[in-house]
Every structure is written in C-alpha cells, then in structure tokens.
Amino acid sequence: MVYNHTLHGRSPLNVAVSQDGVAWTPVLTLEDEPGEYSYPFLLQTSDGLVHIVYTWRRERIRHVVLDSTELVEVATTATAPAAATSRAAHDPTRDPNVIVVLTDD
C-alpha cells in the first residue's frame, strides 16, 4: 500500500506491506519533505517489481520501481520504517514505455 501517513496534508508519502490485508507494516518513506505528494497508485508486475506513480509537489509525475522481495524482507525484520532500496527511478530523459492515466472527480 502507498499512502499519506498523516491526518492533514499530503506529506509524508509512505509504503506499507501486509501478509493478511489487516495488519500493515510501514517499510519505506518515499517523500517526507514539505509539499504535496498526491494521488498515489501502485501495481506489481509479474517480475515482482512494484511500480509506484504519484504527483510530486503538484509539479511532476514521479515513477518509482521497488523490488517486492526487499519490501518483504524489511517488513519481517524491522520494527520501524526503514529504507528499502529502489532499483530504478524516473528518468526524465528517457521516454516511458508505460502510460498511467489517473482521474479524479
């Protein structure tokens, strides 16, 4: 799950994992600077990578790719949010091969 762990505003932006869909363990903070990190969306591809897309400070769309095995390892060994590593990040000089359309009412 990717979510804003706050009661007010849209920062920070966090990632949590769950084995049962009831109990969630925070494993990563994607953004914690002041600003808006909105409309997060994630999906897991067949190769085990987790793709997360969100608006970054209402200026850009950011794409982050995480290895799901690292997220699970952090969840099973950590008691507090830790820094799982990102295998890839958005490269604005490269054309994307995936387009994600997010709508809002």
pLDDT, tens digit only, all 105 positions of the chain? 999 999 999 999 999 988 888 888 888 999 999 999 999 999 999 898 999 999 999 889 999 999 888 877 776 665 444 444 444 444 555 555 555 666 776
Cα–Cα dist 54/60, whole Å: 9
CA 51 from centre of chain: 7
**pTM exceeds 0.75, yes or no:** no
Q: What is the pLDDT, as a whole number, of residue 98?
A: 58
Residue 97's closest CA among 54, 56, 65?
65
Cα–Cα dist 90/63, whole Å: 5
Q: Which two tokens stand for residue 14?
A: 């966090």
Stated as kind and residue range, the H or E segment containing 71 is helix 68-77
Q: What is the pLDDT, as a whole number, of residue 71?
A: 79
